[in-house]
Amino acid sequence: MKDTLQFQQETTAANPIAYQHMARPGISKQLIEEISHYKSEPTWMLAQRLRGFSIFQKKQSPQWGGNLQDIDFDSIRYYLRPTDKRATNWDDVPADIRDTYEKIGIPEAEQKHIAGVMAQYDSEAVYHSLRERLQKQGVIFEDMDTGLKQYPELVQQYFGTVVPAGDNKFSALNTAAWSGGSFVYIPKGVQVDIPLQAYFRINAERVGQFERTLIIADEGSFVHYVEGCTAPIYTADSLHSAVVEIVVKKGARVRYTTVQNWSKNVYNLVTKRAFVYEDATMEWVDGNLGSKLTMKYPSVYLLGRGAKGDILSIAFAGTGQHQDAGAKAVHGAPDTTSSIVSKSISKESGRTSYRGLVSVPKGMTGCKSSVVCDALLLDEYSRSDTYPTMDIREAQTSVSHEASVGKIGEEQLFYFMSRGIKEREARSMIVQGFIEPIAKELPLEYVLELNRLIQLEMEGSVG
């Protein structure tokens, strides 16, 4: 951690440019050039950024999903230097977020860290022992900026190949303005036995608006990457637009777990995609609790025979929130398997949408896909929609789709209450039961926090 800070100070000192544009809102070619220069990036990366910017300018925002009209791209600050972030004042963090931290029992030091106020995380000892273990195995686990500096060829080989800049307006914006995120490489046959957590990364700049993550799992390897935190993450900026690219090579397996709980002023527009090769497995476990609007559809492109993709997602939409989440499975090789399980909960004016695509082109024989999406409405004001698209062009395919929308039943509540359990506790147990098939896939501390947060949300005392 020290190394990075020193490095940052040195680069600041060594680049006597006036960065007046970098702190200002709005994005321009000049800003992008300055970011790239400030980071001392290779020219190919600058070219990528500029190409991304030109696509961003030309492309329309998606006309489907949530309401994106209120995003004012000119008022967003696209780059904050680490020094800017450290200057953030704890008193500026909204009271409701601080309250939530208190309620879910996060210590103050950690609260500040999560809110992005503190630059340092108090676990250097844990972090160092972890690093040594990983290094011995040849695992690369860096923040993306460091990854680019230290492994430029590897980054260049894969960057933008899974999610090209032109994929959508927000992937273009991310390509232009990215900063932070993780770079992970797992060598052939290496099984990483503990989950890699983003906050163990060397860079203190943990919460980025335009994170860019690239994970390469070489043949026969395994890694579980865990991103995010269930505590609400406060950001003054209203747009979070990340890109996650994953390459799962022959026989490898990657699990990527996210639980996002952005503050409720944030547009969370994320493109996540994995290329999955022969006999490899990709598992997305995706939880969406926070944000004003989330549009996120983790995808698997099954590109080799026997490839497998599992996507599990939970969404909770409270007052004023719209979680437009789902999944995408493209069967690009025969004998590939995908499974999508989506569970959503809406409360009050909250809205959840499942949006999914399963595609089996002609000739891709022997593919199997199963989609299950269940929605739970907590009251009569909440809303849930399902937009499943099945594009099946091959007859020798087995596809199943089940969808259900339910309310917490009177009979279920009465059953619990007839055993002395209060209504509030009964409701929260039933909701926890509803998401259990996915919650059990999360690391234990996440499940505990998730359950507590859902309890808080259902009491209506937060938010």
Partner 1 sequence: MSLSVLNLRVAVEGKQILHGVSLNVAAKTVHAVMGPNGSGKSTFANAISGHPRYSITDGSVTVDGSEVASLSPDERARAGLFLSFQNPVEVAGVPVRQFLRTAYNALRRTQVDPIVFSAQLKKEMERMQFDPSFANRSLNDGFSGGERKRLEMLQLALLQPKYAILDETDSGLDVDAIKNIAHTITRAKDQGIGVLLITHYSRILRFVIPDVVHILIKGKIVQSGDASLAQQIEEHGYESFQPSNNT
Nearer to partner 1, 297 or 416 (CB): 416
- Based on CB atoms, which residue is closest to partner 1, 276 or 454? 454
Confirm or reject binding of residue 379 to partner 1 (CB under 8 A): no
Interstrand relation of 281-288 and 253-260 (parallel, antiparallel or unpaired):
parallel
Minimum CB separation from partner 1 for residue 311, in Å?
19
Q: Does 448 bind partner 1 (CB under 8 A)?
A: no
Contact 223, 248 (CB under 8 A): no
Is the CB of residue 85 less than 8 Å from the CB of residue 203? Answer: no
Residue 403 binding partner 1, by CB under 8 A:
no
The two tokens of residue 381 are 């004001």
Asked if 363 is part of the footprint of partner 1 (rule: CB under 8 A), the reply reads no
**Shortest Å, Cβ 323 to partner 1:** 20
Number of residues in contact with partner 1 under rule CB under 8 A: 24
Token output for 307: 């490839």
To the nearest whole angstrom, how small is the minimum distance from the Cβ of residue 444 to partner 1?
Answer: 15
Burial class (CB in 10 A: 0-12, 13-18, 19+), 18: exposed
Q: Between residues 102 and 423, which has the closer beta carbon with respect to partner 1?
A: 423
109 contacts partner 1 (rule: CB under 8 A): no
**Backbone dihedral angles phi then psi of residue 233, each to the nearest 5 degrees:** -100, 120
Query: Smallest gap, in angstroms, from Cβ of residue 343 to partner 1?
Result: 10
Distance CA 427, CA 387 (A): 27
**Separation CA 150–CA 128 (nearest Å):** 19
Minimum distance of partner 1 from residue 251's CB (angstroms) = 33
> Closest separation between CB of residue 429 and partner 1, Å?
6
Instruction: Give the binding range for partner 1 (CB under 8 A) out of 143-151, 199-207, 265-273, 403-411.
Output: 403-411
Q: Is 319 one of the binding residues for partner 1 (CB under 8 A)?
A: no
Residues 405-434 that bind partner 1 (CB under 8 A): 409-412, 414-423, 425-426, 429-430, 432-434
Minimum distance, C-beta of residue 30 to partner 1, in the bound complex (Å): 54
Q: Which is nearer to partner 1, 76 or 315 (CB)?
A: 315
**Rounded to whole angstroms, how far apart are CA atoms 297 and 126?**
33
Q: Which is nearer to partner 1, 12 or 412 (CB)?
A: 412
Q: How many angstroms separate the CA atoms of 156 and 248, rounded? A: 17
Of 70 and 410, CB closest to partner 1? 410
Give the HSE-up count for residue 393: Cα atoms under 13 Å, Cβ half-sphere.
11
Q: How far is the CB of 451 from partner 1 (least distance, A)?
A: 12
CA atoms within 13 A on the CB side of 267: 17
How far is CA 84 from each of CA 38, 156, 433, rounded to the nearest angstrom?
Answer: 14, 29, 43
Q: How far is the CB of 410 from partner 1 (least distance, A)?
A: 6
CB of 408 to partner 1, least distance (A): 10
Radius of gyration of the chain (CA): 22
Task: Determine the Cα–Cα distance for residues 266 and 237; give it in Å rounded to an integer.
Answer: 7
Q: What distance in Å separates the CA atoms of residue 32 and residue 45, rounded to the nearest whole number?
A: 11
Among 10, 436, 445, 459, binds partner 1 (CB under 8 A): 436
Distance CA 182, CA 205 (A): 11
Residue 452 lies near partner 1 (rule: CB under 8 A): no
Give 231 or 442: the residue with its C-beta nearer to partner 1.
442
- Verify binding: residue 437, partner 1, rule CB under 8 A: yes
Smallest distance from partner 1 to CB 415, Å: 5
Say what angle helices 444-459 and 423-439 make with each other, to 10 degrees. Answer: 140
Nearer to partner 1, 223 or 435 (CB): 435
C-alpha–C-alpha distance, residues 302 and 368, integer Å: 11
Among 259, 435, 450, 456, binds partner 1 (CB under 8 A): 435
CA distance 453 to 450: 5
Please identify, using beta-carbon distances, which residue of 274 and 376 lies nearer to partner 1. 376
Closest CA to 213 of 194, 250, 241, 253: 241
| Identity of the residue, 16 or 420, whose beta carbon is nearer to partner 1 in the bound complex | 420
CA distance 36 to 59: 23
Q: For residues 204-233, which are near partner 1 according to CB under 8 A? A: none
* CA dist., res. 318 & res. 45, Å (int): 40
Q: Which residue number, 153 or 410, has a Cβ lying nearer to partner 1? A: 410
Q: Which is nearer to partner 1, 268 or 342 (CB)?
A: 342
Which helix (DSSP H) or strand (DSSP E) does residue 99 occupy?
A: helix 95-103
- DSSP per-residue codes, 76-97: S-----HHHHHT--GGGS-HHH
Residues that bind partner 1 (CB under 8 A): 409-412, 414-423, 425-426, 429-430, 432-437
